[in-house]
Amino acid sequence: MRHWFFLAIAIAAEVAGTSFMKWSSVHGHLGGLAAMFVLLGASYYALSLAVTRVPVGLAYAVWEGVGLVAITLVSLAWFGESIGPAKAAGIVAVLGGILLIKRGMTPAPDEDTVPALAASR
């Protein structure tokens, strides 16, 4: 369960870092770029912790997909950007894609049935 928490942290850090990138580009403040680098680094680190148990394909799909939806909402709320029907349809398609990837994942092998894998942990 904690691996999903790491994935949530990775998503939050990515969205915050991307938001600082936009803020810095609008206001010309280098502090925003520094925050962006730190947050995106933290995002990748948290993602690396998540993929120790969450399948990497699923983790990446959730990280990018949920991050995309979240940054779109942030851009609407804080940066005054707009959303049209095509962008809304794209968001729905991304979320649907995440669900399809999750549904297509095979369960991880049980540690009892794969002794070599269990011994290496």
* Any domain includes 31: yes
Task: Name the amino acid, one letter, at 58.
Answer: L
In the prediction, which pLDDT does 111 show?
A: 47
In the prediction, which pLDDT does 98 show?
A: 87
In the prediction, which pLDDT does 108 show?
A: 56
* Any domain includes 53: yes
* Any domain includes 32: yes
Number of domains in the chain: 1
* Any domain includes 113: no
* Any domain includes 82: yes
* Any domain includes 92: yes
> Could you list the residue range(s) of the whole structural domain that residue 35 is in?
2-107
Q: One digit per residue, pLDDT tens: the chain, 121 residues?
A: 899 999 999 999 999 999 999 999 888 888 889 999 999 999 999 999 999 999 998 899 899 999 999 999 999 999 889 999 999 999 999 989 888 888 887 665 554 444 555 555 5
* Any domain includes 114: no
* Any domain includes 112: no
In the prediction, which pLDDT does 104 show?
A: 82
- Cα–Cα dist 20/57, whole Å: 27
| DSSP string over 17-84 | HHHHHHHHHHHT-HHHHHHHHHHHHHHHHHHHHHTTTS-HHHHHHHHHHHHHHHHHHHHHHHS-----
